[in-house]
Structure 1
Amino acid sequence: MSLAIAPVIPAGSLSGSVQPSLVSSDGGLLLRPWAVDDAVVLQGAFEDATIRRWHMRRMASRSEAQEWIASADRQWQEERAAQWAIVHAVGGEVLGRMSLRWMDLSQGLAECAYWVLPHARGQGVAPRSLATLSNWALNGAGFHRLELAHSDRNEASCRVATKAGFGLEGVRRSALLHTDGWHDMHLHARIQGEV
């Protein structure tokens, strides 16, 4: 059965090229695809209590981190998701993760997700990186709508979303099971053409 509408982003539009690296508007941050050499940092990130609290993923070994990185490359090729390491533009130190954790090209819809390593928190890394990703996704790649969901208890994530121009649209009640029980989830969104 065929669609009654043309896809917002035609299949092959993303996978037909190398996943781009993205530079923040101030030039201080670079979002680049994860590299095999990042496995140690990636594994270590999931030992941080804050990252563990808000994310369901656990990464117990370097080989598991390497597989996750290989999987991220496959997800880009299959146009299902896109993962970036957030790094200092000078020196390349890994500061966190930014992603389109799932993508629906036919609808031009994707969901953003992120985390920042402890030593980089409180420096505007997450909102600057989210704004960088959003600008590319909406203005370069052609997505129409980006969504972002976080626990209503995660105030830091709410601030990041708001600073990056993602308006709060509502609350999805008892929507996600965390290690400490069910959480209500805030739903934020940014739409193509919004500042």
Structure 2
Amino acid sequence: MPYLVPPHIPPGRLADSAQPALAVADDLLLRPWRRADAPAVVAAFADPAIQHWHLRRADTEDEARDWIKQWQDAWNSETGAHWAVVRPERAGDGREEVLGRVSLRSLVPTTGMAECSYWVLPAARGRGVAPRAVSSLARWALDEIGFERLELAHSVLNQRSCRVAAKSGFALEGTRRRSLLHADGWHDMHLHARLRGEDANG
């Protein structure tokens, strides 16, 4: 049975090339995850705040490496795209620092839709890391790849994520009632979205 409309994003648009690194600013870079990043993933999911808003945790570096492998494979299957948010090495510094994660998940290339998610390690909070990283990812996905709609959902109790969504140009569209089960029970979820061609500043 043929489709009446062609795929919004043709198959292979992502997988036919290597996952790129995306520059955010002089002090931030989005780059593909590496196996060596496993300690940073374990540290992130040991943080009570990150655990509170997520459904899983990584207790060992082996588990974290399994996650990283899944994130890497998602690019090739065009089901997800995951980046580490890092502070690049600087002259005389000699080290790169992992600050967090941003991703596109629930990718539906045929309809041009995806969902943004993110977390930031405790030491990097309060520096605008999340909104800058999410904004850069959204610009790349909408303007360069051609996604039509990106969504961002968070618990209505997570006011920090609500501010990140607003600063990243994701308009609040409504509330999905009892939409996600967390460890402490069911949460209503705010739904934000950013559309291709839409002014990120409103």
- TM-score relative to the length of structure 1: 0.97
Which AA in structure 1 matches 2:79?
Answer: R
Answering whether residue 109 of structure 2 is matched by residue 110 of structure 1, we say no
The aligned counterpart of 1:59 is 58
1:89, distance to aligned residue in structure 2 (A) = 2.9
1:60, distance to aligned residue in structure 2 (A) = 1.6
The separation in 2 between residues aligned to 1:51 and 1:70, in whole angstroms, is 21
Which AA in structure 2 matches 1:2?
Answer: P
Answering whether residue 165 of structure 2 is matched by residue 166 of structure 1, we say no
Answering whether residue 140 of structure 2 is matched by residue 136 of structure 1, we say yes
The aligned counterpart of 1:34 is 33
SS at 2:142's partner residue? Answer: helix
Which AA in structure 2 matches 1:13?
Answer: R
Q: Which stretches in structure 2 are left out of the alignment for 5+ residues?
A: 90-94
Which AA in structure 1 matches 2:102?
Answer: M
Question: Where in structure 1 do 4 or more consecutive aligned residues deviate above 4 Å?
Answer: none
Does structure 2 retain, via aligned residues, the 8 Å contact 1:82–1:102?
Answer: no
Which AA in structure 2 matches 1:84?
Answer: W
The aligned counterpart of 1:183 is 187
The aligned counterpart of 1:147 is 151
The aligned counterpart of 1:4 is 4
Does structure 2 retain, via aligned residues, the 8 Å contact 1:127–1:161?
Answer: yes
The separation in 2 between residues aligned to 1:107 and 1:53, in whole angstroms, is 32
1:8, distance to aligned residue in structure 2 (A) = 0.7
SS at 1:135's partner residue? Answer: helix
Residues 149-195 of structure 1, C-alpha deviations (whole Å, 9 max, x = no match): 00000000000000000000000001100111100000000000012
Cα RMSD of the aligned pairs, angstroms, is 0.8
The aligned counterpart of 2:23 is 23
The aligned counterpart of 1:126 is 130
Which AA in structure 2 matches 1:15?
Answer: A
- TM-score relative to the length of structure 2: 0.94
Alignment of 1:58-97 (within 5 A): 58-90=57-89, 91-97=95-101
- Greater alpha carbon shift after TM alignment, 136-145 vs 1-10: 1-10
The separation in 2 between residues aligned to 1:57 and 1:140, in whole angstroms, is 32
1:27, distance to aligned residue in structure 2 (A) = 2.5
The separation in 2 between residues aligned to 1:161 and 1:194, in whole angstroms, is 15
Aligned length: 194
The separation in 2 between residues aligned to 1:51 and 1:2, in whole angstroms, is 44
The aligned counterpart of 2:43 is 44
